[in-house]
Amino acid sequence: MQLGGPRTDQPAPTNVAEAITTGAATLGHRPAVTVLHRQARYEQSGASLVNWAAKGAHLLELDHLVGPGATVRLLAPPCWTSASVALATWWLGGTVALTAGEPAEVSIGHPSQIGAQEAGHPDLLLGDGLDGAPAPDDLTATPTGILAWTHEAQPLPDHPPTAQAHGDLPALRTASRTWSQAELLSVAGALGEGTLGIEAGTTDHLTALAAVSLRPLLTGHATVVLRGVPRGAAAAERVRTWI
């Protein structure tokens, strides 16, 4: 039997800070994001994801001056580390930009994006494993000197940052438009309950990011990401819906 689900005795969150607070309590130590990558399975609980988001928020605020109106450029496939970056940014009232080459206070990338047209040289690098650092064989084509996101965030406190709790704050920007926090919560909530599966090659970056970051907090159900493995590898995850 799969546990989880939103608490019906509380009003729906109107901003990301509320979603993080209520979602962390709902999920606790149950899975939020599971990544199946090569021969490995990596899982982050709701509590762990929120802790990393808090650490990341302090890193963004202290080292990169991210706050309301600031932009964090995020060029990475859906994974638990990209989810933690997004939540950290939104917690502070910043905007995540999914467009390469856009001016930003800080650029955060993934080894799979290094060398992509206009991706540039990120300031911080994401990985897929339990520690969030890039695997050694992912770094062969990566320029030296790029810091790992989790290595920089790990020493920082995991208590909540000073939240910017306004649903109308711009939260995510693509080449076509900008979504507010409230609009992103609507997108994530509409993905439904039950375990959701994502193939990392999806081109729907908006939905994928909402699925790994906000959806588990809103629904109490995990999102499973496949990176380089077929859907059959997720048989034990009991995926109800794929995107």
| Domains of the chain, first to last | 16-242 (3.40.50.12780)
pLDDT tens digit string along 19-77?
A: 999 999 999 999 999 999 888 899 999 999 999 999 999 999 999 999 999 999 999 99
Strands 71-75 vs 106-109: parallel, antiparallel or unpaired = parallel
pLDDT tens digit string along 127-160?
A: 887 788 776 666 555 556 678 899 999 999 999 9
Q: In what order do the strands lie in the sheet with 31-37?
A: 40-45, 31-37, 223-227, 196-199, 241-242
